[in-house]
Structure 1
Amino acid sequence: MGFFKKTRHTHARLNVPALVQVAALAIILIRCLDMVMIFSTLGVHGISEFIHRSVQSWNLTLVFLSSLLLVFAEIYCAFSLVKGRNWARWVYMLIHAITTAYLWASSLGYGYPELFSIPGETKQEIFRTLMMQKLPDVLVLALLFIPPSSRRFFRLQ
């Protein structure tokens, strides 16, 4: 049983492993749920105030636009994963390495702005909270890199 299945109407169709499909769907759903939770928490007035605050300086505008770009890049990676693009899983991992490092630095007072910091009394408490926030993304990365069927799927493409 290979990854290609011939049908009468098409030449060869890509059979995506279930774990890769689950990972891609999870990326999209996690990001959509994040957006729904942000809109639910802040409301329309809070969102407009957040955007207004974000465009007060070049640094804040850059961070705001970068965060939006990263969300769109993650969703693009999810669609590319289903197409068997190996670079997509590496880009997805790089995005999470960057965001984790930025959140860690911002929470310790090295990053800008404080809006993207994680509250906590000690470094250990901040790190634990950060890892709990990143747990869904770590599980998605595990689905993309650990199972043999996922590795084989990306190797054959």
Structure 2
Amino acid sequence: MGFFKKTTHHAKLNVPAIVQVAAIAIITIRCVDVLMVLNVLGGRGIVDFVQRSAQTWALTLIFLGSLLLVFIEILCAFSVVKGRNWARWLYLLTQLVATGYLWAASLGYGYPELFSIAGGSRREIFRSLMLQKLPDMLVLFLLFIPTPSRRFFRLQ
């Protein structure tokens, strides 16, 4: 019987509550974002958006890139709970890319309109962008600043 004995060595992680909250927040924020876009566009708007996104290579790449970004962020959420330090840095990178693109698209350097923020001036657009990104900045704060978070990622 000892010949077929199955041994498993799973180290139990002591995940800080702050990291758990951050991971849950990432998933929740992305799900709510998708639901809000679906609500704003409606069924016909979604079909129009996908058809418009498939008209040119640039629009198709932006559309696929945005979907990839959402999946990467959700992957980061699951990975930070496992103590993967790269996941919090990758999440930071996704936020920099998304914020940079939103800022550029809002100033007229990108498209489609769905990925832009309306405003009368650069200051208004920037203020709206920062308010929109506030939940993500809070998540980044939870992953990088508190001592339990830094210790958790250092030990893994």
* TM-score, normalization by structure 1: 0.91
1:112: how far off? Answer: 2.9
Corresponding position of 2:65: 66
Structure 2: segments with no counterpart, 5+ residues: 1-7
- CA deviation vs aligned residue, 1:66-99 (integer Å, no higher than 9, x gap): 0000000000000000000000000000000011
Structure 1: segments with no counterpart, 5+ residues: 1-8
Corresponding position of 2:75: 76
- Percent identity between the aligned chains? 68
Corresponding position of 1:142: 141
Matched, 1:152 2:132: no
Secondary structure in 1 matching 2:12: strand
Aligned mates of 1:28, 1:149 — CA distance in 2:
21
* Cα 1:35/1:11, change in 2 over 3 Å: closer
Aligned mates of 2:43, 2:115 — CA distance in 1:
20
Corresponding position of 2:4: none
* Cα 1:152/1:125, change in 2 over 3 Å: same
> What is the root-mean-square deviation of aligned Cα atoms in Å?
1.3
Secondary structure in 2 matching 1:13: coil
Corresponding position of 1:55: 54
Corresponding position of 1:26: 25
1:11: how far off? Answer: 5.2
Instruction: Say how many residue pairs are matched.
Output: 149
Aligned mates of 2:30, 2:75 — CA distance in 1:
12
Aligned mates of 2:125, 2:110 — CA distance in 1:
14
Aligned structure 1 segments of 4 or more residues deviating by more than 4 angstroms: none
Aligned mates of 1:89, 1:38 — CA distance in 2:
25
Which runs of structure 2 are paired with 1:8-19 in the superposition (5 Å)?
A: 12-19=11-18
Corresponding position of 2:102: 103
Which amino acid in the other structure matches residue 66 of structure 1?
G
